C-alpha cells in the first residue's frame, strides 16, 4: 500500500517537475528579448563612442528588468531542484522499505543466466547498500593516504618531507635490472 502511494506521489512530482521545466523555458524565452535589447543598446553606444544620459537610463531600466527576469527564472529552478530532491528521497525510502519488506531477497541463489541489463541493475542496487570496507570486529580501517618519501638532494637530510598521497594514485614501480 505504501509503495503504491509512493509511486503515485513520484508520478505527481514528475508531472510537477515537467511543468516547472516548461515554465523555465517560457521565462527564458521572455527574457531573451530583453537581453537582445541590452546587446543592441551596447552596440549603438560603441558606435557613438560616448555614453549619453538617454542610453544610461535606458540601460539601467533594461538591466533591472533583466535582473528581475533572472530572479524569476532562478526561483523556478530552485523549486525544480526541490522537486528533484523530494523525488530522490521518495525513491530512497521506497527502496529501503522494499528491502525491509523482503521484496529483494539476497538469500536466494543467483540465476544461472540473466541479461546484461538486468545484471547491471541488480549490481547497482546492491552497490548502494554495501559498505566500502569490511573488517573484523575491533579491526581499524586502513588509512586513506600513503606517506611517500623520495630522495631529493635539495633537502638537508637528502629526502623530501612525507607527502600524503591517496591510495588510488599510488603505483608500484619495478626498477629495471642493470646488467
Residue 129 lies in a domain: no
Reply yes or no on whether the pLDDT at 131 is more than 90. no
Residue 14 lies in a domain: yes
| Contact (CB, 8 A) for 165 and 145 | yes
| Number of domains, the chain | 2
Residue spans of beta strands (DSSP E) within 24-156: 145-148
Asked whether residue 153 falls in the same domain as residue 93, the answer is no
Residue 119 lies in a domain: no
What is the band of 154 on the pLDDT scale with cuts at 50, 70, 90?
confident
pLDDT of the residue at 34: 92
Calpha distance 117→136 (Å, rounded): 34
* Residue-range definition of the domain harbouring residue 166: 143-174
Residue 126's φ and ψ, nearest 5 degrees, are -70, -35
pLDDT of the residue at 176: 73
Calpha distance 140→153 (Å, rounded): 36
Asked whether residue 10 falls in the same domain as residue 82, the answer is yes
**Residue 35 CA: distances (Å) to CA of 16, 28, 32, 100:** 28, 10, 5, 53
Residue 179 lies in a domain: no
Residue 133's φ and ψ, nearest 5 degrees, are -140, 135
Alpha helices (H) in 102-115, listed in sequence order = none
Out of 105, 123, 152, a domain closes at 105
Mean pLDDT of 1-23: 84
Out of 55, 77, 105, a domain closes at 105
pLDDT of the residue at 51: 83
What is the band of 57 on the pLDDT scale with cuts at 50, 70, 90?
very high
**Four-CA torsion 90, 95, 100, 101, nearest 10 degrees:** 90
Calpha distance 14→88 (Å, rounded): 11
Residue 121 lies in a domain: no
Out of 84, 105, 126, a domain closes at 105
163 forms beta bridges with: 148
pLDDT of the residue at 1: 46
Query: In the chain, pLDDT over 90 holds for what percent of residues?
Result: 33
Mean pLDDT of 96-121: 69
Residue spans of beta strands (DSSP E) within the chain: 145-148, 163-166
**Residue 53 CA: distances (Å) to CA of 46, 50, 56, 61, 140:** 14, 10, 5, 12, 71
Residue 127 lies in a domain: no
What CATH number corresponds to the domain at position 165? 2.30.30.140
User: Residue 36 contacts by C-beta under 8 Å, 6 or more apart in sequence?
Assistant: none
What is the band of 149 on the pLDDT scale with cuts at 50, 70, 90?
confident
pTM over 0.75? The answer is no
Closest CA to 27 of 82, 84, 66, 60: 66
Asked whether residue 9 falls in the same domain as residue 60, the answer is yes
Asked whether residue 8 falls in the same domain as residue 91, the answer is yes
Dump pLDDT digits (tens) for 133-143.
666 778 776 66
Amino acid at each position: 500500500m505504501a509503495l503504491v502511494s509512493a509511486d503515485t506521489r513520484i508520478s505527481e512530482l514528475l508531472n510537477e517537475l515537467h511543468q516547472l521545466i516548461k515554465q523555465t523555458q517560457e521565462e527564458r524565452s521572455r527574457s531573451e528579448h530583453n537581453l537582445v535589447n541590452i546587446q543592441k543598446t551596447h552596440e549603438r553606444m560603441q558606435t557613438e563612442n560616448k555614453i549619453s544620459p538617454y542610453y544610461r537610463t535606458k540601460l539601467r531600466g533594461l538591466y533591472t528588468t533583466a535582473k528581475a527576469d533572472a530572479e524569476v527564472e532562478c526561483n523556478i529552478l530552485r523549486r525544480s531542484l526541490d522537486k528533484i530532491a523530494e523525488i530522490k528521497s521518495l525513491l530512497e525510502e521506497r527502496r529501503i522499505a522494499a528491502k525491509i519488506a523482503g521484496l529483494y531477497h539476497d538469500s536466494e541463489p543467483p540465476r544461472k543466466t540473466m541479461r546484461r541489463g538486468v545484471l547491471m541493475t541488480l549490481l547497482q542496487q546492491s552497490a548502494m547498500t554495501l559498505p566500502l570496507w569490511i573488517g573484523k570486529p575491533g579491526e581499524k580501517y586502513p588509512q586513506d593516504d600513503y606517506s611517500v618519501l623520495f630522495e631529493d638532494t635539495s633537502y638537508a637530510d637528502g629526502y623530501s618531507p612525507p607527502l600524503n598521497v591517496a591510495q588510488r594514485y599510488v603505483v608500484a614501480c619495478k626498477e629495471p635490472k642493470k646488467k
